[in-house]
Amino acid sequence: SSEAFHLAAAGRLNVTVRIMGAGGDSDWRNTVHAAAALRLGGGPAFDVAHVWDEAALVAAAAGGLPVVFSPSGLPGGTGLPWATIRCRNVQVVTCTAAARDACVRRGVPSRRCHMVLPPVDFDRIPRRRDASLRSAMGFSESDFVVLAPGESTPVANHRAAVHAVSILHVLDRSYRILLWGRGHDAPATTWLARRLRQPPLVTLADRALGRSVDFEDLLAAADLALVTGSAAAPTLPLAVCMASGLPIVAAESTAGCELLHDGKNAALVPPRPRLLAKRVLDLREDQVQTARLGRTAREDARRRFDPVRFVGEYQKLYECAAGIGSPSHQKLTTCL
């Protein structure tokens, strides 16, 4: 997100990035130090702070700044951060209506809850299949590679995707599932494949290549995307898959259902492995529908995930948080 701001925020936004915690800026090594740095100055005078985790939220609020908060998941618990949101000048922004509504239920005033769809850097989206990348990860030309988007976390529920593809793998060994290899649940997916006595089923990209790889690069190695995450799963990996034109099969319970429409830009089915497997099989055999779904998804992504639109909406949120509405105010200095 910070890259998008730097690229598209010319004119009225000055953006400064500060990293809190181990390996971060020396005077921002914990919540107390970060709050003191903001309150006592010694650096840029910020109009607003944009934060992504609860520790940074507490630091920015204690530092006396108006805050824009992008939570990484749905709100939970009853601790200090959410009390801080209710009582302070904090604008909450989510990527889905489901997450926004959950924040309102948590007690955040609806006027301070917003939804902004994520940006996609379309220049990073591969335009064609990469046979050499597929080969480097151990896939043959005849393999049908199913990509489970994003990091392997509990909310992404990649184990459900592995289960669905394992059903197909029993029928036809050409069905394989590709994971990025990042996230705490990644090792569990390979363990599940071994338990199912299908060791070749799961490929972790980073491990197979022996190097770090961007998620966007994996799109050129996949034939279809299978989305099985919960409503709390990040939206950006799905947006990237849409932008690539990959055909998408998604469980109906995912947050992505706000972006996906059955039979138009994706195939939506109840979140049961056998039904997901059947829909993947159907799409593989129907190339006309597969091409149509991918084409419509790409067109929707171009319309919805424009980086310039993203920055413009956030700029309005910054101005709202900082109490700036006058066109004569030429610069808004933001701390990310």
As a whole number of angstroms, the longest Cα–Cα distance in the chain is 67
**Residue 91: in which H helix or E strand, if any?**
strand 90-94
List the pLDDT tens digit at each of the 336 positions of the chain: 555 555 545 455 777 777 777 666 666 777 887 788 777 765 557 888 888 888 888 888 888 888 899 887 666 655 556 676 766 778 899 888 888 888 888 888 899 999 999 999 999 999 899 999 999 999 999 999 999 999 999 989 999 999 999 999 999 999 999 999 999 999 999 999 999 999 999 999 999 999 999 999 999 999 999 999 887 788 999 999 999 999 999 998 766 678 899 999 999 999 999 999 999 999 999 999 999 999 999 999 999 999 888 888 888 888 888 886 544 444 555 555
Closest by CA position to 213, among listed 287, 153, 134, 145? 134
Q: Which residues contact 218 (CB under 8 A, 6 or more apart)?
A: 147, 178, 180, 205
CA 241/CA 256 separation, integer angstroms:
11
User: Scanning the structure block, which residue is given the tokens 């509504």?
Assistant: 101
CA 310/CA 236 separation, integer angstroms:
13
Check: pTM over 0.75? Answer yes or no. yes
CA 294/CA 249 separation, integer angstroms:
11
